Structure 1
């Protein structure tokens, strides 16, 4: 039976809206709110969880983006699917990550424990001085030894066996959470932005400092909303080749949950 909101314990270091989204997912999966039913209004949820309406709104937006709920003006918030329902969008997204890992070999050059401060903490979206298991290396294509990417992997310190087992033959790290700890990854977020390549990344990629590149950050989350792994890949523009095929679970002109245009 689902826990009442006031019985749940917030996790330190995890944004509150992510935890509320996770708790609501649990309630939906347990059929406290079955598919087709309406969630309580935002003010009621805010009161039940002891948070502001803005925080609840961010949690609902996360669920909407995942295809779990739809939000209609004057129509309430309707449950559309459980997390157990296979989404073609999610399958394609995971497949694209796996395909990239298989196509671009990871060569590990260093492993250490770091304390996230300032810029690193901001990039990881974690409290300053939080400790992470850190893996560093570079990626090369399967057809040549040319370096095409500089890679850093940050692993939640609560999962040391993954850090210990990663070696030169490891292709895909995120699958190890399930294999070793039976911890499922239910959400992946990816960000990309143009950057100026400097310092160690420039040295590894063998490009002049100041070269324009792309930085991809991939975040892996558990069902509890906990950030398990953050992977950062930096590529020079002339060595970047990216394509993705996405099948969305609903027609893109469906007002209940169309993806953002970009």
Structure 2
């Protein structure tokens, strides 16, 4: 699952902005300069700049250029996730703070909601994820589910808080995640969850169910993540099928 050229360019520019290579108030290289520097087309450059604009990092003015407006995405958390590697890279910028671990046998309702097998043994790791630059505004609450056969990764998850549990299972058990199915819906934060996320009770949130599957479609990991609405923007792109 290769990244598109514009996604690679956008990420590189974001890292340059975040590191101070392109400070707030400065101008990015021109489209022509970026084309030459990265050996890409103007279409690729414009798509990358559009992504930065969506995240509130830059503005564009005719005869002026592309001006850096912020050193981090709007609200601190705006991301474009197009590949499995995008999600793994996003995890590297965050800190997992495990709140609870439990083992259970999946009932019919859980199996239907998460894509598990009823009657099978699973574990659930519940955690708060915190962006290192915004420690007082937790990014999300996440419940990660996997079969008990993979339970040894729980301790690894404590030791490696910036690595996805799915990635730990891949590395430790020779599994390969080929695709991630995502379901996104709006929710309201109840009082208990709002307290854990330093958010207002009853405020809107974004709930994402992710199912990590191998190339045969078998479920390896499932996760449910809830974000306060002001801390995460999921940017998706649809491309016309030309066949």
Same fold per superposition (TM over 0.5)? yes
Matched pairs, number: 165
CA distance in 2 between partners of 1:176 and 1:103 (Å)? 16
Show the counterpart of 1:143: 133
Among residues 127, 130, 149, which one is paired with 1:158 in the alignment? 149
Among residues 160, 167, 172, which one is paired with 1:169 in the alignment? 160
Among residues 111, 126, 141, which one is paired with 1:121 in the alignment? 111
Show the counterpart of 1:218: 210
CA distance in 1 between partners of 2:168 and 2:176 (Å)? 10
1:181: how far off?
0.9
Q: Is the 8 A contact 2:105 2:119 kept in 1?
A: yes
CA distance in 1 between partners of 2:191 and 2:118 (Å)? 22
Q: What are the ranges of 5 or more consecutive residues in structure 2 without an aligned counterpart?
A: 5-80
**After superposition, what is the alpha-carbon deviation per residue over 1:154-182, rounded to whole angstroms, capped at 9, x for unaligned?**
11222222234221532222112221111
1:242 aligns with 2:234: yes
Q: Is the 8 A contact 2:115 2:219 kept in 1?
A: no
CA distance in 2 between partners of 1:95 and 1:184 (Å)? 12
Show the counterpart of 1:189: 181
Among residues 215, 223, 229, which one is paired with 2:221 in the alignment? 229
Which SS does the other structure have where 1:238 is aligned? coil
CA distance in 2 between partners of 1:100 and 1:182 (Å)? 22
Judging changes above 3 Å, is the alpha-carbon distance between structure 1 residues 237 and 210 closer, same or farther for their aligned structure 2 residues?
Answer: same
CA distance in 2 between partners of 1:237 and 1:221 (Å)? 27
Which SS does the other structure have where 1:184 is aligned? coil
Show the counterpart of 1:97: 87
RMSD (Å), alpha carbons:
2.6
Show the counterpart of 1:110: 100
Q: Is the 8 A contact 1:107 1:168 kept in 2?
A: no
1:228: how far off?
1.0
